[in-house]
Structure 1
Amino acid sequence: MNNRIAERVADFLGRYPPFSELTEKDLLALAGGVDILYREKHRYIFREEDPAHAFFYVVHRGAVELRRSSSGEIMDICDEGDIFGLRPLMAGESYKLEARTQEESILYAIPIAQFRPLVTTYEEVGNFLIESFASNTRNPYARQHSGTLVGTGFGSEAAIPGSPPALLPLKAPKKLVTCTPDTPVKDVAARMTVKKVGSVLVLEAGLPVGIITDRDLRTQVVSGNHPIDAPARAVMTTPVITYPKGLTVTQAQLGMMKNQIGHLCLTEDGTPGSPAVGILSKHDLLLAMGQNPEVLMRAVGRSTRIKEIRAVRNRITRLLQRYLQHNVPMSLTMKIISELNDACIKQVILLALQKEPPPPVPFAWISLGSQGRGEQLLLTDQDNALVYAAVEAGKQEETQAYFLKLAGRINKGLLKIGYPYCPAEMMASNPDWCLPLDQWKKRITQWMRNTGSEEVLLSSIFFDFNYTYGAERLVRELTDFIFERVESHPIFLQHLARGALQSPSPTGFFRQFLLEQDGAHKDFFDLKHRALLPLTDAARVLTLAHRIPGINNTAARFEKLAEADPANRELFLSCSYATKALLKFRARQGLLHGDSGRFIALEQLSKEEKMKLKRCFKALKGLQELIAVRFQLKSVL
């Protein structure tokens, strides 16, 4: 490669870590050995289980998909400046994913033989790789791991899908309280009292040689075995059981059980011969497990007051934040958070029922909208309905009055635990959304026959319903009725499809983001209406058209559609990926700003984040073209 080309490659690589850490001389030398590859759209760079190449890759232009060949699921999309294919080279293993271009792409193939020495020469490069592999992200230095913005939770090709939350690393332990072997026990006890800790680490020459706990003081000093002025070495427990920092909940539990101890000493490399960085106690472990979904589920079930459920719901938000920080797969995150949300709603219903007479007839509580789809990660507006069994003549008004009162109590309870009322009053406490089964059937039939804009809007919201509590048979019967009616009202699907194409475009002619032009969110980007809603609407109408019941989650719907319609498999899998990516991005933005994450201030996003958002929009464009052709609506585009 001549110097001019090498200089261009070096200039590009120098914009991105870890290459930005190299000196100009070393960067130019590395660039001199780079091969520049052009690949057409949908060309493979490597396949799953292929032996690792002698190169890893950096995207110069275009985009590369990382997929699991078994399922076709997109695990990540690499854009400009992203590295892929490096971990197998460093680990000496085969590729765990397949890499294929999403569009015409230019790649830089960097020889591992030239790069490997830089890992030991430059501490920053080594740290980059360690952090990258530990966090399963390509770029651990990007804000909040933005390199995995459009990922389902996996940033590298070696990440393990479905990693249990118990395998997340524990937070760094508190600051150490220490003493020397010659420190008098009375001084150790005083230090523990002042610092409010249950243990003191005994250090000699800066290394851990023993530990003194409350239990040691009771059994060795209070019992009279040693005087209070005895040196620490006389009562300390030794040798110290050490583990490396970054311990997971499961590892800590096993360590304590195996050694029958209540404290673990954490050191730099996990051995007693390296400096101590903290002490982990059973209490610390219990606090960490307080963000475990099983613990939270039990806490919800034990709640006897609304404010107790609210406290647990706040812990669920912290659990979500932790999952996002550690890149837990988005599919798993949605399932866990949705189950916990459902548990909170059920407990609110149970508490409300305790304050009312027994229901006159069986009923079911239905969650609508994002919670009905299992996508309500943050505390957004309530959307719910109530369906009850047939009522004998003369008792209709009395029965509806009972359920409206019950629903009002439940909606109020949900408000108290953090879910705001729906501004459009699409809640079970509204008589229009609290009906017997036969009237729900009449209403659905009316929506399908009178296909005005209001009917399409109401049905689109309602068709994402999910059973939450009560007589499940009522919900099953309602579901079956809907699919029967859809088959006999094909024109309704066409109107529903037309509604799916009415959402405003996310970008303009030159691919710039289209912002709100007025109102309270002027100059913000509406992530919900411009990006997520079109995907949700399209998945719903296609699912109804293919008669796929029992799946409400948008990403899961696309994955099922990929099975039902192999000709459009690639598109549907891309849409599933985009949905999870956008939901993850919205959740992060909501947690960052303390709101729903719907409206985004673009100036606060990095260039990489903006680029990756636009990648998601490509799938949306192809999807809307498919909808227009499938339902003969070409004229509306």
Structure 2
Amino acid sequence: MSATIEITEVISFLQKTPPFQFLDGNALKRIASGLEVQYIKVEQSTAIQTPESRPVLHIIRRGAFEIRSQEGLLVDRLADGECFGISSILENNPEGFTVIALEDSLVYRLDRKTFQTIADDYPSFLSYFTSTRANRLRKLFASQTHPTITPAIHLSSSVDSLMSSGLIATDLNSSVQAVAKKMTAARVSSILVLENEKMIGILTDRDLRSRVLANALPADTPVGDIMTHEPVYLAQHASIMEALLLMSERDIHHLPIISNDAKPVGMITSTDLLRNQQLSPLLLASEISRQTNVPALINTCKRLPALINNLVVTNISPVDIGRVVATISDNLIQQLIKLAMVQYGQAPMDFNFLVFGSLARREQSLGSDQDNALMLESEPNEQEVHYFNRLARFVSDGLHHCGFPYCPGNIMATNPTWMMSRQQWQRQFNYWIEKSTPKALLNASIFFDIRSSYGPEEPARQLVAETLEHCKKNSIFLATLTKNALRSRPPLGFFRNLVLESTGEHKNELDLKHNGIALINDLARIYGLAAGETSTSTIERLQNLSDKKIMSQENIHNLQDAWMFLSELRLQTQHESWQRHGKTSAYLDPTHLSQLERRHLKATFKAIANAQDMAKIRFANGLPS
């Protein structure tokens, strides 16, 4: 059944619906004017496209559907604001998908001609739909052919599907004895401290042991004296993956869940997550922290490739996968340092184990190598140098055997060049900024993505802050860094044809990392240094540039879309390489892509090239080529 529609009302709806919300008013009006409305009854089965029908994109105004393959396998479930018919409008539905209404529903129908016109004018609009289609195909592919270990609860599910809602609470003035009795009666391991219905603290059974019993405090000690103030929390609509990452990164075992009005509504514990995840990042990180020797660590880390592959085929975003691997890497580094200290004794001074590159950005994937260094509290004497050399060798060897290969460029803590005091590191960064030699610029592209994986936070924070301040004042450094970065261009030739590797093992393939993702990383780093941006993640850097007015919103969105699209392609390529050959590769054979996917890839590279041109105008326009 079809009917006429009110254009103003449709535009209002589209303005709140991705990816239509990013289009301008004229484009939205063109779409709304060409829409038809259709009512679909519950359980009505609809072939997305038949030989007699024309390809149409369906936008769900109200209702719920599920997409199934020709074999009856579930591909996806959809609700208000989502779309189906993407396969049809992009490639005439070669998969033969069918859609079934789960309730009485209303949809808008957009014809292919209008869709294609908008897609030609807005590459990011097309990017959204090709990415959505790829995600659905990955789900189908995984269910058909890949025997992965699937979590009991999907990591993208909302935390409210897992949290305990029967909260136990107390006030600031309650005694620890009264609170302990209350926790015992309720059989819980934590209690929230509330004031005017707002959470101001948390007390766990571990706090009672370490802060009360261990210090022999009296039973009438007020809860307010020993609680954790302003505890970490998560919003009710967040995903289980976000809870996993937050608890792993902060090393916490109890995570309060709050509603939109900031009131606590539930609690998730590490036990909840481990019980419901057969292959959990939190479980692996936890097991790493419990191992007492290197062979046991090596054996535990053998599960990491399966975990990453599982995250890829279950449609976890590249950003979250990078955070998972970084969290596990950090846990591994910290445990290796603890084991080194068991063997060699306590360190003679405070130190930071610095990480660079993809681990610093939290963007590691399968097969990522190690880039690291040591920053010492002060300049070491000969005996202290010997100690830290042995510790660095122990950690670097352990990382290598646990699946993080040695750095081919020897940027590792085992290299004496990269073991310095805090003051020496600051002088080194200042030298690179002032000199801007080719070698200094190469080092800047690696070392200026920096994070401390072990050690006190303040020395590393000061190093980053002073370096950023120095960068902001040196326009010549930013100009030469930009010029150096622009020597690598996206692989587009004349008439926007893809330029492939011409020789060697990867002949006729694309290097997605160095010819795509790395170019976006470089741009985000340059703009981030110019703006004094402290975050290291590429997506976070780009997002935070919005507030600093240093890059146009269009370029920010284009680069974010490009990074996500290329990272998804890279992860999928690595996954398929691992399945076939037991090793990873970021080289893509474009012949494996559809015509439309190749078109999207070219549009992505064009967006990167445009952003590079804008960076040259802003930072390096006066420099000779």
Instruction: Name 2:478's counterpart in structure 1.
Output: 493
- Which amino acid in structure 1 is aligned with residue 371 of structure 2? D
The answer on 1:328 being equivalent to 2:345 is no
Change (3 A) 1:518 1:452: farther
1:518 to 481, 503, 513: 503
1:300 to 264, 275, 288: 288
Instruction: Name 1:243's counterpart in structure 2.
Output: none
The answer on 1:572 being equivalent to 2:556 is yes
2-side partners of 1:441 and 1:381: how far apart? Answer: 25
The answer on 1:355 being equivalent to 2:339 is no
2-side partners of 1:166 and 1:324: how far apart? Answer: 23
1:466 to 451, 466, 483: 451
2-side partners of 1:419 and 1:310: how far apart? Answer: 11
- Which amino acid in structure 2 is aligned with residue 434 of structure 1? M
Change (3 A) 1:517 1:504: farther
Instruction: Name 1:529's counterpart in structure 2.
Output: 514
8 Å CA contact retained: 1:373, 1:554: yes
8 Å CA contact retained: 1:563, 1:569: no
The answer on 1:427 being equivalent to 2:429 is no
- Which amino acid in structure 2 is aligned with residue 431 of structure 1? P
Instruction: Name 1:563's counterpart in structure 2.
Output: 547
Instruction: Name 2:328's counterpart in structure 1.
Output: 340
1:176-255 equivalences in 2 (<5 Å) = none
Equivalences, count: 425
Change (3 A) 1:636 1:606: farther
Change (3 A) 1:396 1:92: farther
2-side partners of 1:529 and 1:599: how far apart? Answer: 10
1:265-284 equivalences in 2 (<5 Å) = none
Mean Cα displacement is larger for which, 418-427 or 553-562? 553-562
Instruction: Name 1:418's counterpart in structure 2.
Output: 403
1:103 to 120, 123, 142: 120
Change (3 A) 1:390 1:140: closer
1-side partners of 2:349 and 2:484: how far apart? Answer: 37
2-side partners of 1:77 and 1:531: how far apart? Answer: 26
Instruction: Name 1:478's counterpart in structure 2.
Output: 463
Change (3 A) 1:95 1:566: farther
Say which SS state the counterpart of residue 355 (structure 1) adopts.
helix
2-side partners of 1:459 and 1:516: how far apart? Answer: 27
1-side partners of 2:425 and 2:548: how far apart? Answer: 29
Instruction: Name 2:567's counterpart in structure 1.
Output: 583
1-side partners of 2:399 and 2:47: how far apart? Answer: 51
Change (3 A) 1:632 1:415: closer
Instruction: Name 1:163's counterpart in structure 2.
Output: 157
The answer on 1:548 being equivalent to 2:533 is yes
TM superposition shift of 1:390: 1.6
Post-superposition Cα deviations, 1:68-104, rounded to whole Å, max 9, x if no partner, equal: xx9xxxxx99983388xx98987556899x9994533
Change (3 A) 1:460 1:506: same
Mean Cα displacement is larger for which, 538-547 or 609-618? 609-618
1:627 to 608, 615, 624: 615
Structure 1: give runs of 5+ residues left out of the alignment: 1-17, 37-44, 53-69, 71-75, 107-131, 146-159, 169-248, 251-284
TM-score (norm 2): 0.60
Say which SS state the counterpart of residue 318 (structure 1) adopts.
helix
- Which amino acid in structure 1 is aligned with residue 554 of structure 2? E
- Which amino acid in structure 2 is aligned with residue 163 of structure 1? S
Change (3 A) 1:375 1:362: same
1-side partners of 2:490 and 2:274: how far apart? Answer: 48
Change (3 A) 1:460 1:327: same
2:300 to 312, 332, 343: 312
- Which amino acid in structure 1 is aligned with residue 528 of structure 2? T
Change (3 A) 1:286 1:357: closer
- Aligned-pair RMSD on alpha carbons? 4.3
TM superposition shift of 1:635: 7.4
Change (3 A) 1:90 1:286: closer
Mean Cα displacement is larger for which, 337-346 or 463-472? 337-346
1-side partners of 2:489 and 2:589: how far apart? Answer: 18
Instruction: Name 1:456's counterpart in structure 2.
Output: 441
8 Å CA contact retained: 1:628, 1:634: no
Structure 2: give runs of 5+ residues left out of the alignment: 1-45, 64-80, 124-130, 144-153, 163-239, 242-272
1-side partners of 2:602 and 2:624: how far apart? Answer: 23
